[in-house]
Chains A and B, each alone.
Chain A
Amino acid sequence: MKKIAKVTLTTLFVLAVWSASSYAGMVSGTVKFDGAAPEAAVISMDADPTCAGAHSESVLSEEVVVGDAGALQNVFVYVKEGLEGQTFDTPSTPVTLDQKGCQYKPHVFGVQVGQPVDIINSDPTLHNVHGLPKNSKEFNLGMPIPGMRVKRKFDSAEVMVKFKCDVHPWMNAYVGVVSHPFFSTTGSDGSFEIKDLPAGSYVLEAWHEKYGTQTMNVTVDDAAPQSASFTFTG
């Protein structure tokens, strides 16, 4: 009898531990823009004929990109609070930032602390990629040769770090540097997805270049995906 109880208890305990650690949650949702989308400004690239020549149509600013049904693109969503004291492996696969047609691709993205950012110049003109972090060391790298690549890492978390090109003042990009892998950037449909989040309570933050930040509390407790949606107004 005693033995049975012991076995049962042990099994229960193991199950409890197993369920807490291996049932990882998912948070997904969409970011919407409420109201009439502002008209995107046309970027004049006349100052550098190489840039102007790379586009057949007029180039629009990526500051506010609103898709169908108010889907807001380029919003960086990440876990802001709730993971304190935990450490995560740093991925060695780099995130790519391309300078193509005198624009940064992507315009907004995320990276983990210590994870390399592979910066490429695909244009036959001089770019300088000027990273302006406050918590890590600032850098300003001239990339005069087409096809050049350079890797850079950030030492500390910071949301967001701005990149700019001093040669082409219209060029900028933003990277969210976080200490964990739980972040996502909204695509053209305004959706984001954060996977494999351990059970717990968190504060999510959504950042937009023009409209600032919003936060939301989410509790992840089982396998059912948690949904979270943000709405920005102009």
Chain B
Amino acid sequence: MPGKSPSLYDLKKTTVWFAISSLVLLISLVAMVLEDSTREWKHWQKEFVTYSREKAEGELQKARKAVDQKKLAALEAQLVEAHMSANEQKSKVRELEKETAALAIKITQTTMRYQNEKQFQDSDRYFLEEHRLHHEDEQAAEFAKRMEERAPVIDSLKRDLEGLQAEDDARKESINEITQKARELTRQIQQLTESITRLESTVKKLSPNVATAILNAPMLDFMKPTLQIQQIVLENLYDDYFFKKSNKVDRCTTCHLGIDQTGFEDAPKPFQTHPRLELFLSANSPHPAETFGCTTCHGGSGQSVSFTTAAHTPQSDEQAAEWKKDYGWREMTHAISKMLPLSYTEASCTKCHGGVVDVPQAPKLAEGRRLARTYGCAGCHKIEGFEKQWKVGPSLEHVQSKLEPDWIIRWLMNPKEFRASTKMPRIFHLENTSDVKSAEKSDASIAGIAAYLMKNSDPIALGSLPTKGNPEAGEALVKEVGCLGCHTAAGVDANNFGPELTGLGSKVTPEWLYAWLKDPKHYSSETRMPNMRLSNEEAAHITAYLLEDRNEKFESIRLPIVKSEVVDGLAMMFLKGRLRYDDAQAKLNAMSAQERLEFIGEKTIVHQGCFGCHTIHGFEDTKPIGTELTDEGSKDVHKLDFGLIHLDHTRQAWFYQKLKEPRIFDRGKEKVYHEKLRMPDFGFNDDQAERLTTFLLSLQKEDIPLEMSKQLDLREQEIERGRYLVAKFNCQGCHTLDGQEGKVRKVFDDAGNAPPLLTGEGKKVDGGWLYDFLEKPVTIRPWLSYRMPTFEFDEESLTHIVRYFENLSEVPISYKDDTPKPTAENIEAGKKLFKAFQCIKCHKSNPEPGLSASFLAPDLVMTKSRLRPDWVVEWLMDPQALQEGTMMPTFFYDGQSPMPEILGGDALRQSEAIRDYLWLFNAEEAHGAAQPQVPQAG
């Protein structure tokens, strides 16, 4: 017997360890299964099933109530009756059915005979033709005879067949009649209860049952569970994991289950329907979920399926606290892409929508961009897409002819002291420069700037006023000629595009203001202020009115005392930057006190970047001073200096804070004067700061494939070029255009006196005429006191604006001569109609003065050069359809002409005739037409 084999292990111990590890494995398996079956998303999917079922049940109840029970009961009773009566006639039905069965046999037999005979006939025809071809007349005659004999047989068979079929039809009809009523009633009942049946099946589908319980049971749910992760894989979009790019996968719909369905608008989160499905998510919207997913716009981690790891970002501290309590949310401090808070989602639009003035359907972003243009962010910060930005401040090339140095000093101390609504930011005396030493330096710098500007600007010739203006007349003119189309003035705030016209008596001289009003480009060739073509008297009146208003508080601001040692200190600081101490000192000593002041002025202008907004001699090519903002929206958060203040470490929090209190990040820091933060204080309110934050967040670059981003076609590009000019020159300050109401229109009680609506202008006026008009405006509506100003556009801008209007109206470029070629009949008819409709009553060529506005309409002599022929016809047919509220009446109501004897009373032909006549209408005709007519007796 062999001895006990030597063993390398102890069996007993092994067994014990095996048992222990099995147990541990079992426990961990159970734990895993438990953990898996209680995952967050499964909870939400179960909740959604419950919610949907309850919703369907509610709808079911409503549907049941909505059904007309009386009608239903009546129908059901009728159905029972119908069934009963059908049953009574059962034997008759059976009899009929038997008969049809017998008939069917007969029909088949007869059909076969009929077809046989026809085949014989065809065969005989063949032989007949063959024999005839070979001139075998005898045989041919034989076949002809056979055919002749058979013909009546075929005819009679056909008649038999028809008779049989008629008998059959009659029987079937009788059966039908007996059963039809029941069928019709059943259909009606089904129709009445259709929605109930549908909802019942929905409720049944959503109710718990054994099958789904098994499919979703732990361990069994690998087969075909009804609860499962939903995902959208985006073929053309990628997530960047630094070294590897992978297709974007969004699993948001795992929990956001009702997001793309209508009917969940009032559902609790996360089941709520996405707003505006016609614009987002749905398959036929411009942004289908299958193509764009969710995180492309919202940000966040699309692959994650838990609330926290998806990197949801709360809107506010309150929401954060709520989320912590309700969902155990915590911030994903190290997540690469966190979700944008909902209030900033519009920032993502620019990923695909570039090259446009305003991103469509993104009002907050559009406002933000508008603010960025208005306040001239791109003056200091390079921003791609803002290269064409105009300088927002006035040119200072001739400032010595406009301002006194003391005014400049008071202004720079705090611009809002002079005018609260100014867009000029405060640069000096802010929180990081408020200590005594910094304040002294700021005062010296301000005096330096004033000294530099006085020295380095050229005077312009200013004439004297031809007459002393009348302020009252001036006030009326300010309200009447169009100043309010850009400026807040005379207590009317419709536009704050140009500076508010207050306190000018404390600012400029009458000579300067008069010269400016007469010709703004004389003072500044780059100004956007147009020429209002004011007469000498008008300009003098307005000057007198505007200068009446003084800002005495501002005038009494004490000018700071500038200490020479502070000036020297600043000058040395600037000099030492480039020179050795001794050289710097020598250079300083060589300068006079005034030169030192001018020197620190020049250096301060460089340091603060004043030339970003103002044209200043000596700084024509200086580079802007701010950080480039092209990618600011995707800048790493840790590259932003949060300083020593407590603030959420997010881009949006930093941008917002920076905009509200630009110098706050210096708080608690020890810095020398010229190293302190320089961003000036614009005095933005909360709304403005939020809109600008949206704009800043939108400045990001992401690799979006070309085919996925919005590509502007030629027409859209031309429209955008026009929109840029429309924004720059504030056309919508007066005119309703491109979907935006003219801002000044609200000032008018009578819309007939407001600047014209330009909706559809491209279709209305001739392109060449528009070009000339914009270049040199002429009076079209003599009753309007508002004047179309002369903007002195260059050729390129004029072309862009004309194309903009044409493109908005979808008018193609055409070289076809569209001048009407009228017939004599048309001209004659047109003339008659023109007289009958008394067109000249309002459309006078030389209206006598003193007529009220409504008596006046455009001079029709202008029509042929100004208007498009097709538009004139459309307008005559129904003016209200083209311009609601117009004073022009229609003469063809409901498409009928009141003059049935002309051109057959055809409204369209009559309109064309009037148009044709207008194309021949000249000053002479107008004069003739205007002669008083003897009124016809009514």
List chain A positions with a Cβ less than 8 A from chain B.
47-50, 122-126, 128-130, 138-148, 150, 166-167, 169
Contact = CB atoms under 8 A, between A and B. Distances in A.
A49 B936 contact: no
A221 to B, nearest CB: 35
A129 B891 CA distance: 11
B938 interface: yes
Given A140-B879, A141-B893, A144-B891, 14 more contacts: A47-B852, A49-B932, A50-B935, A122-B938, A124-B936, A138-B884, A138-B885, A140-B886, A141-B890, A166-B842, A167-B854, A167-B855, A169-B853, A169-B854
Contacts of A48: 841
Contacts, number: 71
A106 B851 CA distance: 26
B879 A144 contact: no
A124 B935 contact: yes
B890 A140 contact: yes
B854 A144 contact: no
Contacts of B899: 145
11 contacts: A47-B855, A122-B938, A124-B935, A128-B887, A139-B880, A140-B888, A140-B889, A144-B891, A166-B752, A167-B842, A169-B855
Given A47-B851, A130-B889, A144 B838 contact: yes
B341 interface: no
A136 B880 CA distance: 14
B892 to A, nearest CB: 9
B414 to A, nearest CB: 47
B836 interface: yes
A24 B290 CA distance: 66
Contacts of B889: 128-130, 140-143, 166
Nearest to B878: A140
B181 to A, nearest CB: 37
Contact of B852 (A122, A141, A169): A169
Interface residues of B, number: 29
B887 A144 contact: no
B852 A167 contact: no
A140 B880 contact: yes
Residue among A124, A129, A143, A144 facing the most chain B CB atoms (10 A cut-off): A144
Contacts of A128: 887, 889
Interface in B908-938: 932, 935-938
A49 B855 CA distance: 13
Interface string B811-850: 0000000000000000000000000111001100000000
Contact of A145 (B854, B887, B898): B898
B938 A166 contact: no
A136 B855 CA distance: 26
Given A124-B938, A139-B880, A144 B888 contact: no
Contacts of B851: 47
Interface in B869-902: 879-880, 884-891, 893, 898-899
Contacts of B855: 47, 167, 169
Contacts of B879: 140
Contacts of B842: 166-167
A166 B889 CA distance: 9
Q: Which of B842, B891, B936 has the most CB of A within 10 A?
A: B891
Given A47-B851, A47-B852, A167-B854, A125 B836 contact: no
B450 to A, nearest CB: 55
Interface string B730-772: 0000000000000000000000100000000000000000000
Contacts of A150: 893
B880 A142 contact: no
Contacts of B841: 48, 125-126, 167
A166 to B, nearest CB: 4
Nearest to A148: B898
> Which 4 pairs of residues, A with B, have the shortest CB-CB distance?
A146-B938, A142-B889, A128-B889, A166-B887
A78 B879 CA distance: 34
A49 B848 CA distance: 14
Given A50-B935, A124-B938, A167-B855, A144 B886 contact: no
Nearest to A137: B880
Nearest to B880: A140
Contacts of A122: 938
A138 to B, nearest CB: 6
Given A47-B852, A140-B880, A145-B898, A125 B935 contact: yes
B855 to A, nearest CB: 6
B849 to A, nearest CB: 12
A128 B898 CA distance: 14
A142 B837 contact: yes
Greatest chain A CB density within 10 A among B842, B884, B938 is at B938
B836 A138 contact: no
Nearest to A146: B938
Contacts of A143: 889
Given A123-B938, A124-B938, A126-B838, A142 B891 contact: yes
Nearest to A170: B852
A100 to B, nearest CB: 10
A140 B855 CA distance: 15
A49 B930 CA distance: 13
A143 B889 CA distance: 9
A181 B161 CA distance: 70
Nearest to B850: A47
A123 to B, nearest CB: 7
A138 B838 contact: no
Contact of B838 (A125, A129, A166, A169): A125
A32 B570 CA distance: 82
Contacts of A144: 836-838, 891, 898
Interface in B646-668: none
A130 B884 contact: no
B890 A142 contact: yes
A98 B898 CA distance: 18
Given A141-B889, A166-B854, A124 B937 contact: yes
Nearest to B752: A166
Interface string B768-791: 000000000000000000000000
A145 B890 contact: no
Nearest to B937: A124
A49 B838 CA distance: 14
Interface string B103-142: 0000000000000000000000000000000000000000
